[in-house]
Chain A
Amino acid sequence: MEALIEKLALYMQYPFVRYALIVGVLIALCSSLLGVTLVLKRFSFIGDGLSHVAFGALAVATVLQAANKMTVVLPLTLLAAVLLLRTGKDTKIKGDAAVAMISVTSLAFGYLLMNVFSSSPNVSGDVCSTLFGSTSILTLTKQEVWFSVLLSVVVLLLFVFFYQKIFAITFDEDFARAVGVNASRYNLMLAVIIAVIIVLAMNLVGSLLISAFVIFPALSAMRIFRTFFSVTVCSAVLSVVCALAGIFASILAGTPVGATVVAMDAAAFLLFCMAGRLRGA
């Protein structure tokens, strides 16, 4: 045990480990807060679709050899978020089909681009690390860390400030609209926030595993807690704990960061399920 702690203390001296922890915790916090709303609004799939769009956008950024990939990925993902939200209502192609269509198209397009215009000798390695995150969180630059911190703080502030509005439009959008809440504006805000979180989370878990980040903590919290507030708080705490445990475990065991954190989330979900059953019985 002492050896473990010593080893961790040693790792903590490296700035890249500290960066990974900071960014990991912030992403876990933001994604779990929004996850509650996404799950309840039946928007889980939009998060999944957006992560694929972000993958496609990253491929575009790689091909364009953009200095800061975020400057390409973020606007494209934002655009997709707004479009996907629109398709939810009154369109010929129904929401889930539209999400599936856009997500496979961007996956295919992204992979195609990476192959055709490959600039590195190891294309499949690149693709794999964008999809599953692998080690990119350990290679964050200081600039990227600050960017993540800034965006996370904005997301957190927006969430706290509009918490009651988000609750109202999640529980009953028609009622909220009827009494004069501008639900379209808040839906748009949610879409933008989701897009930002997904772009941030790509660094940590890669685009295929982001959905787990968004959905698992919220679902786990809902097994046990019964009010919106307690579910939100529990989801946030759980997500941060799982992220910390996952990052430490991956450092110690040398496993991929994203997959380890998601495995932690899944394990927590099982525990919460059992606890919920016991409580219910």
Chain B
Amino acid sequence: MPQIVCEHLCLGYEGETIVKDLSFSVEAGMYLCIVGENGAGKSTLMKAILGLRPPLSGHVAFGDGLKKKEIGYLSQQTDVQKDFPASVREIVLSGFQGRMGFRPFYRQAEKERAAQNMERMGVAELSGRCYRELSGGQQQRVLLARSLCATEKLLLLDEPVSGLDPVVTADMYRIIGELHRSGVTIVMITHDVAEALPCATHILHLGHCVFFGTRDEYLRERKDAPEEKEARSHGSFN
């Protein structure tokens, strides 16, 4: 039983369908990259999986012991966050909110877990610092630590390296790769196909031609259709 099953999803906004009849599933241990041109519906798909924006039709099911609230989510930066006064510790701890119910304060065990996760993401020494004063790469690592507090099973990452310089980008991919090896299922949106391909196990390509399969199948298909590849990589680097 896969962790996430999407069946016959149609996504879009009122009156406009972006993605038609999309079916795929995410198994435990996958590293799935979702690629495609801008506006192909990558973020919309992620929001449908998270239940933030219901699909026009079709449905999303969870299995293999994964519950809907056990999905960690790394979204694109919002305006609100850019000047938000909050310490790293406050943000990382807020990852536990989903499972707290009405309990108003954090338990000691949760504080320890948060500290471990900060350690793991290499932001432990920043725990008292203000989020908005950190560099882009540090901010992303803080948000990853928060996601780890929410779940150890599956992470959805929406453009985790956008706006980061090449060195920090490579570092970010290394960290995500380590998380994957430690058993976290990764689903990542990226427009940076060349960088992401080496670590991915599976690819979902959205756009005028939809592809879902393993990375090797994807590479083979791209080789078979060089024109298509040209068009794609052109689109993806724009």
Residues of chain A at the chain B interface (Cβ within 8 Å): 40-42, 160-165, 167-168, 170-172, 174-181, 222, 225-231
A177 to B47, CA, bound (A): 11
List 22 A-B residue pairs with CB atoms under 8 Å apart, sorted by A's residue number. A162-B104, A164-B94, A164-B105, A168-B97, A170-B84, A171-B84, A171-B94, A172-B81, A174-B50, A174-B78, A175-B75, A175-B146, A178-B52, A178-B69, A179-B97, A180-B69, A181-B97, A226-B87, A226-B130, A226-B133, A228-B87, A231-B85
On whether the beta carbons of A180 and B99 are closer than 8 Å, the reply is yes
Please tell me if B216 contacts chain A, counting CB pairs below 8 Å. Answer: no
In this complex, what residue of A is CB-closest to B79?
A42
- Min CB gap A224→B, angstroms: 10
Residues of chain B at the chain A interface (Cβ within 8 Å): 47, 50-52, 68-73, 75, 78-81, 84-87, 90-91, 93-95, 97-100, 104-106, 128-130, 133, 146-147, 150-151, 156
On whether the beta carbons of B90 and A172 are closer than 8 Å, the reply is no
Q: Which of B78, B97, B105, B128 is the one whose CB lies under 8 Å from A176?
A: B97
List 18 other contacts, CB 8 Å, given A168-B94, A179-B72: A40-B80, A164-B100, A164-B105, A170-B84, A171-B81, A174-B73, A174-B75, A176-B97, A177-B52, A178-B69, A178-B156, A179-B151, A180-B68, A180-B99, A181-B97, A225-B85, A226-B133, A228-B87
In this complex, what residue of B is CB-closest to A90?
B14
In this complex, what residue of A is CB-closest to B76?
A174
Q: Which residues of B lie under 8 Å from residue A222 when comparing CB positions? A: 85
A170 to B72, CA, bound (A): 18
| List of 9 A-B pairs having minimum Cβ-Cβ separation, nearest first | A179-B98, A180-B69, A226-B130, A180-B98, A227-B87, A178-B73, A168-B97, A178-B50, A168-B94
Q: Which residues of B lie under 8 Å from residue A231 when comparing CB positions? A: 85
A176 to B79, CA, bound (A): 16
Q: Which residues of B lie under 8 Å from residue A180 when comparing CB positions? A: 68-69, 98-99
On whether the beta carbons of A172 and B85 are closer than 8 Å, the reply is no
On whether the beta carbons of A164 and B86 are closer than 8 Å, the reply is no
On whether the beta carbons of A227 and B97 are closer than 8 Å, the reply is no
On whether the beta carbons of A176 and B98 are closer than 8 Å, the reply is yes
On whether the beta carbons of A171 and B104 are closer than 8 Å, the reply is no
Q: Which residues of A lie under 8 Å from residue B68 when comparing CB positions? A: 180
On whether the beta carbons of A228 and B90 are closer than 8 Å, the reply is yes
On whether the beta carbons of B50 and A177 are closer than 8 Å, the reply is yes
- Min CB gap B129→A, angstroms: 8
On whether the beta carbons of B97 and A165 are closer than 8 Å, the reply is yes
In this complex, what residue of B is CB-closest to A225?
B85
Q: Which of A42, A161, A171 is the one whose CB lies under 8 Å from B86?
A: A171
A222 to B130, CA, bound (A): 12
A76 to B222, CA, bound (A): 62
Q: Which residues of B lie under 8 Å from residue A161 when comparing CB positions? A: 104
**CB contact under 8 A between A226 and B98, given known A177-B50, A179-B150, A179-B151:** no
In this complex, what residue of B is CB-closest to A221?
B85
Q: Which residues of A lie under 8 Å from residue B81 when comparing CB positions? A: 171-172
On whether the beta carbons of A171 and B80 are closer than 8 Å, the reply is yes
